Structure 1
Amino acid sequence: MNEHNTLEKMRRMRMNAMATLYYRCVNEHLYQDYSLDDFLSLLVDTEWESRQSRNIESLILRAGFKQDAAASDIDYQTTRNLDKTTFERLLSLNFISKKENLIITGPTGSGKSFLAQSLGIKACQLLNKTIYYNTARFFDIAKLAKLEGTYHKLIKRIQKAELLILDDFGLVSIDQAARNVLLDVIEERYDKSSTIIATQIPVSKWHGLIGENTIADAILDRIVFSSHRIELEGDSLRKKKQLST
């Protein structure tokens, strides 16, 4: 067996994790402890896990999250109307496979963004393409894309994502251009993929927030009435954290 040629071929095929393990096994004679089938399985599994890990890291990076929101760090002890059983059911991501939506409402500092992003990171870990936007920032990006002639490309990118997160929805006024963008996004994703909206604004006030009855009706019909709901309550978690330090 020509170990050097085999190692070089692995590297040229960019099987770097496999090459690293193969080199170690050959030099330390570790392969002697394995059958041929077990040794081959070990090499393939190592390369597979390495590539999966890189894919997950890439998905998380491209999603654009603003927090490293690990599901293990979710606070279920503070009284804020967050049911652990309900949210852990959402963390199974069945709502994504069913093309369902989620709306998270609550006062500032209640942890809406963290919960939304924890679901987004979990989605990436299960290899679901995810996109995170602050809603006001997204409207600015969409307006610029229209000026640059790349709007269709932007909408197609969003359409292909299994999960879209729109954070801080409704904190800035929604003008005609933003209404049209929102309708385009919701229309393209309806019954095809999942969207999470996190907002301080109660759903009952969305119609007036969006404005223009026809567009508001179309948006609400497509995203609100088929959504899971989490309605957080209580004081700001950030204020409580500051007081405890």
Structure 2
Amino acid sequence: MLNHPTYDTLTRLRLHGMAQALAEQALLADVEAMSFEERLGLLLDREQAERQNRLTSSRLRRARLKQPAVPEDIDYRHPRGLDKALFRELLTGTWIQRHQNVLLTGPTGVGKTYLACALATTACRQGSTALYYRLPRLFEELTLSHGDGRYPNFMEKLAKVDVLLLDDWGLALLDDDRRRDLLEILDDRYQTRSTIITSQLPVAHWHDSLGDPTLADAILDRLVHHAHQVQLKGESLRKLKPKLTQETQSE
């Protein structure tokens, strides 16, 4: 550990990135050849990077993503119909700036949730907030909030998050209360925030799955018209894992 008054002062001021960079500079053989401005610039760069990392980590914790998905690990080789150019465009985050949505559909096991979480992770890295909910669990939370008086605050929380990820859309028919809650959530976010949906149902079937034609029109009008659709297909990735293990053992 560097024994230097400046190091101690930086630590007391909670400038931990600068303190660590100062300690590392002290170990450099050619540090004396660097100008004051160069050394200061390196300290400031490290502090900025450390703060950005802490903020990103905090956003990811609050997002409560189901999977620790990162864009670097996305498999574009598996034959599931993933449009590489489209998805890489989504990873730039411009759709969030434009308050657009992303709809990921396809059979079970093709990686919809992983891709959605990778988009949410990227959003957190880029400075946006995100929040994950399985839609059935969200409805349970909404029901509880109606009963204990938290509903206004809960709805405000959902309205403020930059990227709301709703997983497993369309697994069950909705009653009227849940349809109206869903409409309120999407109406609050319409053209002001972005939403990611994953579903086993094709988008063309969403209207029927919602049950009430009038509310279905209102819900989908706020969701589909300003959305990027990612339609996946193919065999479940989960089925391939045992095969790969068996092949490895046989070799």
Q: CA–CA distance in 2 between the matches of 1:27 and 1:72? A: 33
Q: CA–CA distance in 2 between the matches of 1:90 and 1:28? A: 41
Instruction: Tell me the residue number matched to 1:183.
Output: 183
Q: For residues 161-220 of structure 1, what are the alpha-carbon distances to aligned partners after superposition, in whole Å with 9 as ceiling and x for unaligned?
A: 221110111113322222122111100100001111000012122122222222211111
- Check if 1:101 corresponds to 2:101: yes
Q: What does residue range 198-209 of structure 1 map to in structure 2 within 5 Å?
A: 198-209=198-209
Report the CA distance shift for 1:111/1:27 in structure 2 as closer, same or farther (over 3 A): closer
Equivalent AA in structure 1 for residue 173 of structure 2: S
- Check if 1:59 corresponds to 2:37: no
- Contact kept in structure 2, 1:143 and 1:177, CA below 8 Å: no
Equivalent AA in structure 1 for residue 147 of structure 2: L
Q: Which runs of 5+ in 2 are unaligned?
A: 246-251
Shift of 1:34: 2.3
Equivalent AA in structure 1 for residue 62 of structure 2: R
Shift of 1:131: 0.9
Instruction: Tell me the residue number matched to 2:249.
Output: none
Shift of 1:241: 2.1
Instruction: Tell me the residue number matched to 2:41.
Output: 41
Q: CA–CA distance in 2 between the matches of 1:12 and 1:158? A: 37
Q: Greater CA deviation, 134-143 or 190-199?
A: 134-143
The 4+ residue runs of structure 1 with deviation greater than 3 A are 3-9, 23-31
- Contact kept in structure 2, 1:7 and 1:23, CA below 8 Å: yes
C-alpha RMSD of matched pairs (Å) = 2.0
Q: For residues 206-240 of structure 1, what are the alpha-carbon distances to aligned partners after superposition, in whole Å with 9 as ceiling and x for unaligned?
A: 12222222221111111112211111111211112
Q: CA–CA distance in 1 between the matches of 2:205 and 2:104? A: 14
Q: CA–CA distance in 2 between the matches of 1:29 and 1:76? A: 44
Q: CA–CA distance in 2 between the matches of 1:30 and 1:24? A: 12
Instruction: Tell me the residue number matched to 2:11.
Output: 11
- Check if 1:218 corresponds to 2:182: no
Shift of 1:64: 0.7
Q: Greater CA deviation, 130-139 or 170-179?
A: 170-179
Instruction: Tell me the residue number matched to 1:148.
Output: 148
Equivalent AA in structure 2 for residue 82 of structure 1: L
Shift of 1:25: 4.1
Q: CA–CA distance in 1 between the matches of 2:132 and 2:202? A: 21
Instruction: Tell me the residue number matched to 2:157.
Output: 157
Equivalent AA in structure 1 for residue 239 of structure 2: K
- Contact kept in structure 2, 1:183 and 1:218, CA below 8 Å: yes
Instruction: Tell me the residue number matched to 2:71.
Output: 71
Q: CA–CA distance in 1 between the matches of 2:157 and 2:30? A: 46
Q: Residue 192 of structure 1: SS of its match in structure 2?
A: coil
Q: Residue 168 of structure 1: SS of its match in structure 2?
A: strand
Report % sequence identity: 39
- Check if 1:238 corresponds to 2:238: yes
Q: Residue 169 of structure 2: SS of its match in structure 1?
A: coil
Shift of 1:30: 7.1
Instruction: Tell me the residue number matched to 2:167.
Output: 167
- Contact kept in structure 1, 2:116 and 2:196, CA below 8 Å: yes
Equivalent AA in structure 2 for residue 45 of structure 1: D
Equivalent AA in structure 1 for residue 59 of structure 2: L
Q: CA–CA distance in 1 between the matches of 2:189 and 2:196? A: 12
Q: What number of residue pairs does the alignment pair up?
A: 243
Q: Greater CA deviation, 96-105 or 6-15?
A: 6-15
Q: Which runs of 5+ in 1 are unaligned?
A: none
Give the TM-score, by structure 1 length: 0.91
Shift of 1:31: 5.2
Q: Greater CA deviation, 49-58 or 234-243?
A: 234-243
- Contact kept in structure 1, 2:173 and 2:211, CA below 8 Å: no
